[in-house]
Amino acid sequence: MAARHMFAGRFLPPRAELRAMLHLALPVVVIQVGIMAMGVVDTIMAGHLSMLALASVALGNLYFFGLAVFGMGTLMVLDPVVAQAVGAGDEPAVARGVQRGVVLAAVLSVPAAILLVLAEPFLTLAGQPHDVIPLASAYAARMAPGIFPFFLFIVLRQSLQSMRRTRPIIIAIVVANLANAALNWVLIFGNLGAPALGVVGSAWATTVSRWLLASVLFALTWKQLAVYLRPFHPEVWQLAPLGRMLRLGVPIGLQFVLEFGAFAFVALMMGWLGTREMAGHQVAINLASLTFMVPLGVSDAASVLVGQAVGRGDPAGARGSAGAALLYGAGFMTLTAVLFLTLPGPLARLYSRELDVVELAVILIPIAGVFQVFDGLQAVGGGILRGLGQTRVPMVVNLLGYWALGLPVSYYLGFVAGRGPVGLWWGLVLGLGVVATVLLFRVRAGLARQQSRVLIDLPAPPPARASPALPAVRK
């Protein structure tokens, strides 16, 4: 029975769940890697300019995603909302979910764009190196026009994934990445007669590519999505259902902020140590982030398949999908851990030719190998809980695991104990281990209890029944 394979009895999930998870997870992983690839290309090409350019792009990207990650997480409320509606065969609820996602994307993009333009004072307040701040701020400001199409892409992606329509997303990702690489080559280095814009050119390349990404995906899927996007349902604008979506989505956004913020704070502390430390850290964290796209993709697939199982009232299917996701996520990250532990030098030299940067990255990459399995398990566990509609617990676990435990230990080891960059990273390992362990126990508890569908539009109350007439009283 699928009910027995989670944490007890036989470990392997049924073959049907393994095949279904692999069939959806593989394209979703490609999509996640494609999203990450834009930042990797920016970083690699900037690294061939100078160590200052590498550090500036790293800090600018850090600031961009620090703002964008809340919106990305909040919009992932579409995972349980749309996937469970698809599983239940409730087409009107699917349409309302997609339309509300578009509304939320527009609303969330406004404050994010404003804060991107105002990057310099925030980076100065954060105590970053003075030589890095001007270029990093210029990079972030040029990313502001691309925040809305990025959020719109998230809405379309999550909605299409919940319907298991992934091919057009992959096509759009490939087109956008090819455009980004070509535009980086032209605008950073001044090829084909264009001005050599350096770091700023990299930002413009990414912004244009994000508009292309959303436009291509919209064009490819309009025939499929038109039934969900028009006409706009009047109830989409009602505040009560939007509030219910936000109550589910904001904890996901805060969970992402807490997790991303923990890694970002470590990067900021690296900046306190110096430009070399920041650049070396960026090489190692970029590698770890790239491999993390695989369990993150499995996490998205788990959210969809678990959500669909809940929507159709299939608890055994939910448990089977969860078990398959955990197996794939942990298995892949074990392989990458071996790679990080055995080949840190060649991996570091892919990013930089600066000897000082490579030497530090070679020390940090094996530590990234240690936390790979923890990172995969916590990502997949969070996706399973999203599919179940349980979004608050991961937020609390991230708050305690990273901010109450991991980061204080990072600071102590890095600055008080004098371990520098190595100490900062070991604190991350501790935080990840705690978060992964607690989330796994929560997944087990969530799958064991009775599962119910998330309802954003509550059913109308039944019409009041007329009271029966009282018999006449005889006098």
Q: Give tens-digit pLDDT for 305-337.
A: 999 898 888 888 889 999 999 999 999 999 999
- The rounded distance, in Å, linking the Cα atoms of 424 and 59 is 17
Q: Give mean pLDDT, residues 63-90.
A: 89
- Give the other-Cβ count within 10 Å of 16's Cβ: 13
Element (H, E) at 311: helix 275-311
The residues near 195 (Cβ < 8 Å, ≥ 6 apart) are 187, 201
Q: How confident is the model at residue 211 (pLDDT cuts 50, 70, 90)?
A: very high
Distance CA 367, CA 428 (A): 10
The pLDDT of residue 209 is above 90: yes
- d(CA 188, CA 204) in angstroms, rounded, equals 10
What is the C-alpha to C-alpha distance for residues 259 and 275, in angstroms, rounded to an integer? Answer: 24
pLDDT tens, 363-401? 999 999 988 889 999 999 999 999 998 889 999 999 999
Q: Give SS3 for 224.
A: helix
Q: Is residue 125 a contact partner of residue 116, using CB atoms and an 8 Å limit?
A: no
pLDDT of residue 455: 67
- Residue 60 corresponds to which tokens in the numbers above? 């600018």
Identify the CA nearest to 273 among candidates 53, 425, 431.
425
| pLDDT at 468 > cutoff 60 | no
The answer to whether the CB of 321 falls within 8 A of the CB of 306 is yes
The encoded tokens of residue 302 equal 């788990």
CA 36 to chain centroid, in Å, comes to 10
The model carries a pTM of 0.83
Of 53-57, 108-112, 267-271, 461-465, give the lowest mean pLDDT range. 461-465
Query: Token digits for 448?
Result: 């064991």
Q: Is the pLDDT of residue 8 over 80?
A: no
Mean per-residue pLDDT, 110-123: 94
Q: Which of 442-446, 449-453, 460-464 has the highest mean pLDDT?
A: 442-446
Residue 279 is predicted with a pLDDT of 84
Sign (positive/negative) of CA torsion 378, 381, 385, 390? negative
The per-residue pLDDT for 459 is 57
Residue 17 has pLDDT above 70, yes or no: yes
Q: What pLDDT shows up at residue 201?
A: 94
Alpha helices in 126-198 (DSSP H): 133-143, 147-162, 167-189
Specify the pLDDT at position 212.
97
**Average pLDDT in the chain:** 87
Mean pLDDT value across residues 231-257: 86
Give the pLDDT of residue 399: 95
pLDDT digits (tens, 9 = 90+) for 29-46: 888 888 878 887 887 888
76 — pLDDT class (breaks 50, 70, 90): very high
- What is the mean pLDDT of the segment spanning 199-227? 93
Whether the bond between 251 and the residue before it is cis, its omega within 30 degrees of 0, is: no
Distances (CA, A) of 236 to 157, 247, 289: 20, 16, 36
Rounded to whole angstroms, the Cα distance separating 177 from 370 reads 30
> Looking at the predicted structure, is the pLDDT value of residue 473 above 50?
no
Q: What angle do CA 237, 111, 42 make, to 5 degrees?
A: 120
87-110 tens-digit pLDDT: 888 888 888 889 999 999 999 999
For the record, the structure tokens of 89 come out as 């065969």
Taking the C-alpha atoms of residue 453 and residue 251, their distance in angstroms, rounded to an integer, is: 18
DSSP classification of residue 354: -
pLDDT score for 46: 84
Highest-confidence segment of 30-44, 171-185, 255-269, 448-462: 171-185
Contacts with 43 (C-beta within 8 Å, 6 or more apart), sequence order: 54, 57, 58, 61, 282, 286, 351
